[in-house]
Amino acid sequence: MRDLETSIRESVVLVRAPASRPRLRILRRSPLADLRRRSVGPLDLFSQSISAVAPSAAGATIPVALFAVAGDASTLSLALGFVLIALVVATVTQYARRMVTSGSVYSYAAWAGGVRSATAAGAALLVGTLGITVGVLVGAASAAEVLLRYALPSVDTAAWTPVVLTIVALLGIASFALGVRSSTRITLVVELVAVLVVVVIMIGLVVVNWGVLPPIVPSDTDPAAVGAGAAVAVGLFVGYETSATLGAESRRPFRDVPRSFVLSVGVAAVIFVLSLLGQYAGAEIIGEFDSLGDAHPASPGTSPALVLVLNVGFLLSYLAAFIASLNGVIRLVFTLGRDGLLPSLFGRVDRRNRLPMLAAVAVTALVFITAQLSTAMSGDVRSVASAALSTSAVGCGVAYAIACLLLPRFRRRIGEPLFAASVMAYAVGTLLLTVVACFVGWNIQVGDWSIAIPTAGFAAVWLFFVIRARSRGIVDVGVYDQTSIPDLVPADVEARFGSTPHDSSARP
């Protein structure tokens, strides 16, 4: 028996790893340990993603934008966008299976590519997600305006915009402060109601106008327009990655974060197709292809009940999207604060509710002020919403593309290089950048200079990050939820009772 034991021990010694392996250092606690770790379940992650995508509101308003861009080729653009987003999800998921973060795509790119990539990806994602957040806030105001216009026809509804914006912003920060679980549950219920409303109406429109289909084969194809349309289609899904910002707080992040990506994009795609068909068919009712939600309830040819119900759905969807987007941006700002690209103040976690409340207040204030100023200055909620939409498509598109292009480097760095994955990642990243470039080009071509907002915003934030990184000598970015001692097999239960229960400098 002793011989056997000896031989087993020796055989273990034989297969021991080479001595050249660097000495391991296992942290006693994760760098993100002050967030409430392991408190969020799969349902919360899914509702975070799906609410941030806001399929009911986005699906009901964006097809109009898509038709404006791609015209006849809309179906083709949509299909291209779907394929592209599926590939992006497949690429980004490879990060999510391997690291747990609080800054989603930014953290992936920062860790994989270092400071230079971090500044670019951080600027793109920050501008993009701030864009969505402002967009959905203004969207909520525009849906509320339609409802108010009907309820109080004599009052000037534009006067209501600041009030609605204030109420929604307050609701947003209040639900953030309630904690992840409560806020994701609230958004899930709200979004579910919105989706139900929109789906029922769209199915109704399709059935009533059976056979009215958007053209599948375009009459004349301008590749640039198809590309620009694809960017709008990718823009539909922006926000799906926000569940990754809850990674550090998730109970089973390696399983649930990738799953929430795939599930939310899949569900949203179905709703988008339905919305496109419904709206196209619905155009028969209104007479022109216009966003159903923006129709004046009293204008001839519309059904006031339909428009009202639809706008209740939009209002709910925007509300859910606002809460969810806020959740995501705040954690992104928190992560940027931790990495040093933003003041470290934002990287602080409130002791009581374990949430980055300083970042929350700053982000909400910024979004609120931007929404107020832009609606007041332009006097038109729709143009603000459309500029915000472009911002999110450009910003998030660039951020996704950077993450895709850095995937091969990431896989090499962690010792898991794979040729096929690298080729795929480069292809997806390049295609995505091309599509975004087409979108920017198309906007310039038609003279819509609101595209300057995301471009200038991105450039300004990027410059700020670069200067800050230089002047502060930042070299270490990409904070993530590292494995710490409690995640390992306890070395020895006995050791836990000794005077030094945890040896921070690891095991052999």
Partner 1 sequence: MPRERSVADVNNNQPRAIAHALAVLEEIATAGPGVTARDISERLQLSPATTYRILNLLVREEYVVRLGDLSGFALGGRVGALAEAHPAVGITRAVSAAMTEIRGRVGIAVHLFSVYGTRLRLLDEDARHPLVDRARSITDLNASAAGRLLLAEMDSDPDGDAQDRASTHERPTTVSLDASSPRGTSTIAVGVRGPALLLVNVIMAAGGRDYVAARREDITKELLRAADHLAPLLS
Contacts with partner 1, residue ranges (CB under 8 A): 12, 15-17, 21-22, 24-26, 28-30, 33-34, 36-39, 97-99, 252, 254-255, 354, 413-418, 420, 482-490, 493, 496-502, 506-508
Closest by CA to 241, choosing from 385, 391, 392, is 392
* Cβ at position 90, least distance to partner 1 in Å: 14
In the complex, the smallest distance separating the C-beta of residue 504 from partner 1, rounded to whole angstroms, is 9
> Please, which residue, 34 or 222, has the CB nearer to partner 1?
34
CB of residue 248 to partner 1, shortest distance in Å: 11
| 365/423 with CB nearer partner 1 | 423
**Residue type for 43, please?**
L
CB nearer to partner 1: pick between 254 and 426: 254
DSSP string, 163-221: HHHHHHHHHHHHHHHT-HHHHHHHHHHHHHHHHHHHHHHHHHHHHHTTT----SS-SS-
User: Which of 354, 468 has the CB closer to partner 1?
Assistant: 354
For partner 1, the closer of residues 353 and 430 by Cβ is 353
Q: How far is CA 314 from the centre of its chain?
A: 19
Q: What is the nearest approach in angstroms of partner 1 to the Cβ of residue 111?
A: 8
Residues 362 and 330: their CA atoms lie apart, in Å, by: 9
Residue 26 CB, shortest distance to partner 1, in Å, is 6
Min separation Cβ 37 and partner 1, Å: 6
What are the tokens at 277?
A: 């068909």
Tokens of 78: 């949509």
- Shortest gap between Cβ of 289 and partner 1 (angstroms)? 45
Give whichever of 68 and 506 is closer to partner 1, judged by the CB atom. 506
Angle, CA 311 vertex, CA 308 and CA 312 arms, to 5°: 90
- If we measure between CA atoms, which residue out of 236, 165, 186, 260 comes closest to residue 393? 236
Alpha-carbon distance 222 to 206, whole Å?
29
Nearest distance from C-beta of residue 187 to partner 1, angstroms:
21
Measured from the CB atom, the residue of 418 and 474 that comes closer to partner 1 is 418
The SS3 assignment for 506 reads coil
Q: What are the helix (H) ranges across 379-451?
A: 381-413, 419-445
Long-range contacts of 208-213 (CB under 8 A, 24+ apart): 208/281, 209/281, 209/282, 209/284, 209/285, 212/280, 212/281, 212/284, 213/277, 213/280
Backbone phi, psi, residue 250, to 5°: -80, 150
Least distance in angstroms from the C-beta of 109 to partner 1: 15
Q: Between 15 and 159, whose beta carbon lies closer to partner 1?
A: 15
Query: In the complex with partner 1, which residue's Cβ is closer, 377 or 493?
Result: 493
What is the nearest approach in angstroms of partner 1 to the Cβ of residue 457? 32
Handedness of CA 146, 151, 154, 155 (dihedral sign): negative
Instruction: Say if residues 47 and 391 touch (Cβ distance below 8 Å).
Output: no
Tell me, rounded to whole angstroms, the distance of Cα 439 from its chain centroid: 19
Sign of the CA dihedral with 461 first, then 465, 467, and 471 last: positive
CB within 8 Å of 377: residues ≥ 6 apart: none
- Closer CB to partner 1, residue 34 or residue 350? 34
CA atoms within 13 A on the CB side of 400: 36
